Structure formats: structure tokens, C-alpha cells
A and B are shown apart, each in its own frame.
Chain A
């Protein structure tokens, strides 16, 4: 790749956090000439808050990222130091993998992956502004970026992933520092570029707890929480290309396998525990007595914080009758003694933080390595985006991650992946890839953002997905294989293995519904194998552990992941069928697209309120229009008629010519 500044990139990604890394890799992997700009190459893919990936709904997102050719899943598998499957006692649809990661190992492996990715270039510079040109129709499009080094880079599309850096302001009590993260800078001028282009910005707030020195912690006073002996991984290792765990190594310039030089461990080996402890009455008293010193409670902070991740101040104020709060100490890695204290996020002054930490069993002598702090930052309300994550105001400009008002590494990575894919597709003149609400959590995430916007940092919950029963984590690559194929997001050989797996699962699901146990087998005369499985499930009997597995010979030969999916489809058949029927019904309107140039103002019969909302949101399908609050079924009827009239009008025009 030429190093000349005159290179016109197909995609420039601004920011190398979890969104930026996925965006850059996704674009480059489809062959787009891509440039990834970051203010500091040493903080690529940094976990600014807790050193963990996955959890409820988030774990499913990570598996979806893997199904669409992203990196987060494999990067986690190879750098995690503890794996746990959450909700193991509940049904497969709501089970989620979660992992503690080695924070530095995660970053190093991701940086190395970026470095070795063909058609991707990395460069350290802070983006200070966007370069626009007129689109000739009264609007503007982005054509590149300006950096703090006074170097301009030109591109056909730009993906912005600024995280918390956009006018980032950190608070520790009354102390304020500019920056998106402790020790890092603040992107102060970029906001002006957005405002210039008519993109509205608002403020959000988030926070992070103190970090402690491990040697100062008395673990004997805490309870360990250990990983699963049999770890549930994020990447689909059963369909991955042989040696693909380290496939980037083979792409190294020297042609030598770099396995030894690469970070990454055998997943699940030598797991490290987390530790549980609780706040005390003294903690509560300290918080209450010093509430007036908290940045949150003294009115210093204007941004809105997340309700699901409250500061310790919030917990004691809002739930005053709850005597104590659970805390987790999470190790930050194998090569560090630093611990993250999950549950103690605060914006109290540092002196109070020290006392507060030391009021907790096991932490009486704790040394703080880094203070807790709150951070405020600009975000661009995401209703200003199309479902492709492209700006409605500026053509070719894409947004992903916290700038869209989300929270969480996984939510950021999911958006980054989609923005990268869609930016690259745009340069090739292809239609954007848009995941439906019925297909993936990533689809729910983006649809919620662009349709409803958000008032607080948006986090995914399984309950946000109407069809979460279809979203069991093991089915991600089966659900999304059509998109993977169509967008060439996974290799042809992996795709073939996914298709073969899908065929096996469909074959055995129908076989088990048909076949009955033969003479001499367990359960003779009790109906089909499927009936037997359902009966066992309704009795609450364990499924799938080798000894208790039932089924015909061929079925028992299948890999466990296949059998698990077959069992799920059989045991939950009634509910899954109902979900599928609802989805089919929904798709009839979901598939009715609204052209981008459709004139809502000219549609007769829309109520004024709906017309205003439709013009603001500019939905791209009748389905999306229906999810805008205040738009009634009658409005949709009117829209359907107007769209049909337009379509027929076009046909008549063509026949006339």
C-alpha cells in the first residue's frame, strides 16, 4: 500500500476501540482499502471499565459477531482467564457466555490482528475534523478527515467511533479533568465538525470504580467465584477453518507461522477466580455523609447515566433499605496484580473513596492504584442515522459505538462490525446489510437506536428482543448464515461447514420427530424420540450430559453442539413455531421498503402528529415506521396505500415511455 497522503481510502475509521477495531477489520476483510486512525496505538481495544466480555444478551452479541466474521469472539477466547455460562439452570435461549479477560493480552492480540490484516493500514493521529463537500443537492457528504498532525486523509466513507472521547470530561468529586479516559486525551474539536454539518449532539455520563493492588487485598475474607470446568466459548470453533485460530499468523510477511510469538492461550486452561465481598454499614454511612461532595449529587454533571450501572451513591440513596451491596473483585490479567472492584463505581472525592474501600471486608488495607471517576461525553442521538448506521445528514459518514449512545464493549463491537461492513458495501455500490429484529440482537440493538433513540447509555438486555427464544447463543451462525454468504463475511470453507451443520441439525430434528425407539432401546412404546425428549424436559430431567443422552444411533454420533441445537428445537418446538409464525406475519410489512426519497409530507390521510414523526425519523420500511411511538396502524395502512400507489405510478410511467 502506498504511503502517499494522496491515497483515497475506501474507508477511514476514526478510533480503535471495540467499535473501531471491528469496523476496520470488517471493511478490510471485504477487500476495502481501509485506514484506522487512533490517538494512541498503545490503547487499541482497551477495556476502559471492567475486564470482561459477554454476559446476558452481550454474550449472544459476541457470538453473532463471530457468525458475521468479526474478531471479538476469537480474541476473547484466546485471551480470557475465566469462562462462565450464565443462566445455566434456565433454558438455552437465555443462557449467555461470559469471560474475564486478560486486559493487556486482549489488546495486544487485537493490535497484532490489525497489524497483520491485509488492506488495512494503522496510523496514530487524532482526528480533529471532517472534510466535507457539497453533494450538489443542498446536502453534504464527507470526503476525508483532518488530524492533529495537520495531515489530511481522504476517503470515500468515514466511520466515526469516538467512544467517550468527544469533549470527554472526567469528575472525581469536585476535581475535573478533560479526557475520555483516565490518562487519555479529549477530542475537543471534532464536535464542531458535527455541529457544522447539522448533526445534533447531547451529553451522557458513565462511571468506573477504583482499581486496587492485589497484594493489599485479604482474599481469605472473600468468597471465590470460579470459572466453568467445561468452558463455553464465544467463537464457533466447530466450523472455523483449521488453524484459523491463528490464521493471521500465516498471513505474516515472512510466511512463517508466528504462533509462538502471538499472545493467546488454550481456552479454559488455568482459569483465575473472581472474588465476592459486600459493602458494610460503614460504607453506607460514608456515602451518605459525603453525598454533597459527589460530582453526581452536587450538580456538577449534566449528562444522563445508566440506570443498570448505578454509582454506589445511587444505590444507597435509591435503595436505602437494602443493607448491603454485592461487590466482585475481578483480576485484570495474568501479568498484573491489579484488581477491578465491580459494583463500586463512584464520583466521590478520592479521600472518601479510600475510606469507603477500606470499610469493606477484605479491603481493610487496600491500596488504590487508580481512582474511580465519572466521565461525561458527547453523543449524537442515533435517530439521526439510517439502519445502515450511515448519517441521514451527511452522506458516506457512519457512526458506531458509544457516540450512538450505547454502553458496553459488545454493543460497540456489534455496531462497529455493521458500520464497517456497510461503509465498504457503500463504496462498492451495494445495498447495506441490515439485520432484522427477528434475526439477531445486533438487529434489535440498531433498530432500537435508529428508531427510538435513547435517553441513557443503551445496554442490551435479552428482554429487549421480542423473539429472544430464537436467539439462543448456539444458533447465531445458523441464523446469520444467509447474510454471511451474501456478504462474503466468512470464508467459503467455513460457510460450507456451517451449511453442513445446518443440514445435519434439520435432518435430525425431523428424524427425531419421526423415529421411535426400536425394540430393546429406552422408551419403547412411548412415542417418537422427540416425544421422549419433550417428556423428559417437562419432568426437569437433565439433557445432554453423555450418560443421559437418548436418541437413535446416528444422532448420538453428532457433535454435542449439534445435538444441543436439535434438542432445543424439539423441546421448545411449540413456542419456536409460534415465534416463527409471528415473525412471518411481521415480515410482510417489514419487507415493504420505503424509498429514501419518499415524501411523507405529500401523503394524504396521515395524522399531523404521525406525519411529523415520520418525517423526523424517516423509516426505511413500513415495519420500522410501525415501531415509532405514536404511529398508529391506520397510519401504516395509509402508508401502504401510498407506497402501492407510487409503485403503480412508476409502472404506468414506464409503460408510457
Chain B
């Protein structure tokens, strides 16, 4: 906020009204979350060109049209989030009839979410279920006979979204947001009562009380929003890749971690030809284990296929368990793989510790190490703990947050609510005091934003809070 002009230029466009209109720019993931190697993000609306120019750092008049481009995506902070392929399609010759931008990024759900969150920060809004198709229909890109199919699709998508949202809201998130909303409404009532009932015998206006309450709400909002990253982990699992030479015992280790026989395990090296994935729970975290084909210096034809997949897995991994046979310890690794092993995301696991009594891991490795035996269960408990610690470092969780898992849309709503609350707090602290109806306007913005998570908040509820707390009426 500019202190000189406390109420002349709000920059937050946080009060979002009805979500059915065209004219704004929408963004959403077009591929299912956490399933594929590639994730496709779609953006549609008049801001598409501006966004392409911003994130790919090109002049707006030099955006190639209808041609895929390979480039780094830069977020608002200037970080490169991913190397990806993007295509800009100007309207009306696009699927929705509007300017559109398609991004194919790596399938790591975290990357896709970071990109989405960044797009929202830049003024996009999350698309409603089926909104791309609706826009296509309203723009005349689909013919009349497809109308019913469009309606069915919107219906199906919204039912699914509703089911997901309800599951999440039951899991404590709804209660947390509802609690924030209730406190916002009480603060709003404490402000509005002086606007709408100037003739009443009211206690003196206490802006500090309202400020203290709202600071608390802002903290709650920010805490919830911070669960987005770990939220991604919670929903999709921490992508953990088992890497190692053939027959190092990766599959046995996976089976030991899963607690049941899942992967095809054989005595011959190279049995695991493609990667297998398995969900396990490590402490409070959901972990998606990827068992890869062995890393062989002289691969056969079929094996070569598996290795490409291994590399792909490795690039997207949140965590790597580098499995080494303790009975035949070799730390040689093709540089193609070794380059992916950034410190902090690698744990060197010496397996078959039962066959190598007295084995001591070399002390000069840049990664933490430990000795286990998938066969006897030796060291598996410690492995779990070490993985948990590593995940905590990747995505710190707070006490009580285990149940929270805000998605990109919810995080966007929380971000806008937070921005509004920032304006409100500045306004309440301003000297001379900012006009109360403007403070109220921003506060309503915060209520509306949170209402996008739990369902629209009826103005009547503020009046309920007002009449419950103040004796009004002449």
C-alpha cells in the first residue's frame, strides 16, 4: 500500500464475482493429476499472449503462433520452474475461439502446480469444470448437436470436482476455512455496525481489536496456503525412485517397503524391464515408489527401452533411493544418471547387508548412507525414518496440517484472501484512519475469496453476526 494514498489505488483484484463469464483468462491442468510423464496446462482468454511474453521472456509482438517452442518457464520470482514445450494459438482459430496457450511440462505434479499457482498470481483464474468446452461452444466452435454432450461433460466434471472437494472438506479443510470465514464475518460485523447504525448507542469503535482478530485470520490463511506444496505431496505422493544396477535388490526393497510381493522378482539380473509404481505410507506421508529397470553399463535392446524410462523417472523424482549391493559394492554410475543426483534428494541404501557382515559405507559420499537388508528386514525401520526426514525437508508440515491439502485453486483463493486482508490491515492501521467503507470493501473481498472454497458466503450471515453481537434497534 502506498502510505500517501491509502485508498486511491487498490491493486488487488481479489473480489471475484460470479464465475461464469468469459472475458477473463482461465487456466487449468488438462491431463489427470500425477498420472502421466507429461502434464498439459491450458490457458484461454485475452491475457494469453501477455502471459506467454512474461513467462517465456519474449517481447509480446514476437510470440510464434501455432508452432511449438521449447523454453524455460520463469515464475514471478524469476526462478526457472521447468523446461517445457509451449504453443500459442490466437483466437478465433483455437479450440475455445479465444487466444490460448498450451504448456506441456514434466508430469511431476509439483511442477504443474507451481506453474498453475504462478499463472494465478499473474491474473489467470482457475477454470470451472468444463469451462474450456463451454467457451468453445459459446464461441461457436462446436455445433448445436454437441450442446448436450457439452452439458453432460460439464455435469460429469463438476460432479467429480464436487466429490473431490467434499472429500477434502470433510477432511478438516472445510472446517478450517469455515472457521476463518466466521471470524472474518465477525470482524466485518464489527465494522459494518458503525456504518449502518450510526444512531445507535454502541461501544466505541475499536479498530485494534478488529486488527488483532484479522491478523490472526491472515496467519491462518497463510498457514493453509503453505500446505499447497506438501498438499501436492499428500495427494499425489512423494515421487521416490529406486535406482541401481541390475540385481542390486531394488524390487526386493520395494516389496519390503510395500510389505507384500508386488513387483516381479527373479534371480536373473534385469528382470524389471519397465518401471513399476507403488503407493506406500511412510510416517504421515504418501510416497509413490518407482521401481526402475537396472542401470546396466551394457544394456540389451529391451533393457535400453527401460533405461530411457528410468532417466525420465529420475528427472522428475522428489527423492531417489540409490540402491547398492553391499556384498558387491560398486558406486560407478553413468554420468547421465549421476547428473540427476542432486544432494538433498538422494539416500544411498546399501542392500543385502545380511550378506556383508561388518560392511561400512564409504565416508566420502556426498549423500547420506545406510545399510539394510530387504531379505531380513535389517535397517528398514531406520530407512523409513530417514525417508521421512528427507520428505520433511522437501515440504515442511506443521502440526495439525497432516489433514490439509489445498490444491492450486484453493491456494489461489487463499492467496487473494490474504492480499485483501493485507489491504484491510494497512487500512486499519493508517493514520488518519482509512475510510471504513473502503476497509469493508476489501474485507468483503477476503470473505468472497474464501467463499470460493466452501461455497458462496451469504451476506445475511454477516447480519446474523451483527445482530447476535450488538444490541441494535430503536
Q: How far is the CB of B326 from chain A (nearest CB, A)?
A: 56
**Contact in complex: B438, A575 (CB < 8 Å):** yes
Closest to A91 in B: B435
**Contact in complex: B18, A468 (CB < 8 Å):** no
Hey, which chain B residues are within 8 Å of A623, CB to CB?
18
**Contact in complex: B199, A86 (CB < 8 Å):** yes
Binds B, one of A61-69, A191-199, A566-574: A566-574
Q: How far is the CB of A629 from chain B (nearest CB, A)?
A: 7
**Contact in complex: B463, A604 (CB < 8 Å):** no
Closest to A454 in B: B460
List A187-231 residues whose CB lies under 8 Å from chain B: none
**Contact in complex: A462, B154 (CB < 8 Å):** no
Q: In whole angstroms, what is the CA distance A16 to B392 when docked?
A: 73
B192-214 CB mask vs A (1 if < 8 Å, else 0) is 10011111110000000000000
In the complex, B176 has a CB within 8 A of chain A:
no
Residues of chain A at the chain B interface (Cβ within 8 Å): 50, 55-57, 86-87, 90-91, 93-94, 278, 306-310, 314-315, 318-319, 322, 325-328, 342-343, 452, 461-464, 466, 468-469, 534-535, 537-540, 571-575, 578-579, 581-582, 585-586, 588-589, 603-607, 622-623, 626, 629, 632-638, 640-642, 644-645, 648-649, 652
A626: which of B18, B162, B196, B463 is its contact (CB, 8 Å)? B18
Q: In whole angstroms, what is the CA distance A638 to B155 when docked?
A: 7
10 A-B pairs in the complex with CB atoms less than 8 angstroms apart: A50-B474, A91-B438, A464-B459, A574-B5, A579-B441, A581-B13, A586-B17, A588-B22, A636-B19, A640-B20
A637: which of B6, B130, B463 is its contact (CB, 8 Å)? B130
Closest to B197 in A: A56
| With known contacts A309-B473, A534-B8, A90–B436 Cβ distance under 8 A | yes
Hey, which chain A residues are within 8 Å of B200, CB to CB?
326
Q: In whole angstroms, what is the CA distance A322 to B155 when docked?
A: 52
In the complex, B305 has a CB within 8 A of chain A:
no
Hey, which chain A residues are within 8 Å of B463, CB to CB?
307, 461, 463
| With known contacts A309-B473, A585-B23, A605-B154, A649–B441 Cβ distance under 8 A | no
List B145-164 residues whose CB lies under 8 Å from chain A: 147-148, 150-152, 154-155, 157-159, 161-162
| With known contacts A87-B198, A605-B152, A638-B151, A585–B158 Cβ distance under 8 A | no
Closest to B467 in A: A307
**Contact in complex: A637, B471 (CB < 8 Å):** no
| With known contacts A538-B7, A574-B10, A641-B137, A634–B129 Cβ distance under 8 A | yes
B268-285 CB mask vs A (1 if < 8 Å, else 0) is 000000000000000000
Hey, which chain A residues are within 8 Å of B467, CB to CB?
307-308
**Contact in complex: A94, B13 (CB < 8 Å):** no
- Enumerate the 9 nearest inter-chain pairs by beta-carbon distance, A residue then B residue, closest first: A634-B158, A540-B432, A605-B155, A605-B151, A326-B201, A645-B147, A574-B9, A588-B21, A319-B471
Q: In whole angstroms, what is the CA distance A542 to B197 when docked?
A: 23
Q: How far is the CB of B15 from chain A (nearest CB, A)?
A: 6
Closest to A535 in B: B4
**Contact in complex: B138, A538 (CB < 8 Å):** no
Q: In whole angstroms, what is the CA distance A90 to B439 when docked?
A: 12
Q: How far is the CB of A74 from chain B (nearest CB, A)?
A: 24
In the complex, B458 has a CB within 8 A of chain A:
yes
**Contact in complex: B147, A636 (CB < 8 Å):** no
In the complex, B144 has a CB within 8 A of chain A:
yes
List B442-474 residues whose CB lies under 8 Å from chain A: 444, 456, 458-460, 462-463, 467, 471-474
**Contact in complex: A629, B152 (CB < 8 Å):** no
| With known contacts A463-B195, A582-B15, A633-B19, A535–B437 Cβ distance under 8 A | no
Q: Contacts A326-B201, A589-B21 known; list 11 others, CB within 8 Å.
A: A55-B199, A87-B195, A306-B473, A308-B472, A343-B473, A464-B459, A469-B438, A574-B5, A575-B10, A641-B147, A641-B154
